[in-house]
Structure 1
Amino acid sequence: MRSFDAVHVSEPGLVVVEVAAGDEATALAAVAELGERWVTSGPSEVWREVGEPGVRVRTYAKVRPSVG
């Protein structure tokens, strides 16, 4: 798994979501669905992990609204 910057989870409601799928189209569709529900960064570049099946993509999301 690739590392991420602590700022991406620096407050409540922020998450890093990594999607593993059999193909690029499915991975990107999953991230697009998340974007319909939450505010997201959109998909990262798709990558492959050596020795692992399929592809991976990451998005950063805010899963709850700001208070205030």
Structure 2
Amino acid sequence: MKPIRDEHLAEPGLVVVDVAAADDDTALAFQAALAERWATATDDRTSRIPGEPGVRLRCYLDLRQPTGP
């Protein structure tokens, strides 16, 4: 995964979430659940590390901007 940069966490309430999951569907479902609650910069694909099990996904949340209940 790419490094986390200062601008990703420049203010309180900004969060970087790195997800490790068994499969694409699980990682994307978790991301969708986050996006239902907070403003989220989503990704539409996961990444794999050769020789390691599962998939990885990174998304960015702004907890200052709730989108749901």
Normalised to the residue count of structure 1, the TM-score between the two structures is 0.82
User: Conserved in 1, the CA contact under 8 Å of 2:38 and 2:62?
Assistant: yes
C-alpha change, 1:59 and 1:17, in structure 2 (3 Å) is same
Q: Which runs of 4+ in 1 moved over 4 A?
A: none
Residue 42 of structure 1 deviates from its aligned partner by 1.1
In 2, the alpha carbon distance for the partners of 1:61 and 1:8 equals: 9
Residue 63 of structure 2: aligned partner: 63
- What residue ranges of structure 2 are gaps of 5+ in the alignment? none
Distance in 1 (CA, whole Å) between partners of 2:6 and 2:51 is 27
Match runs of 1:1-68 below 5 Å:
1-43=1-43, 45-65=45-65
Give structure 1 stretches of 5+ with no counterpart.
Answer: none
Q: 1:44 to 1:2 in 2, by over 3 A?
A: farther
| Cα RMSD, aligned residues only | 1.6
**Structure with greater strand share of residues:** 2
Provide the aligned length of Structure 1 versus Structure 2. Answer: 65
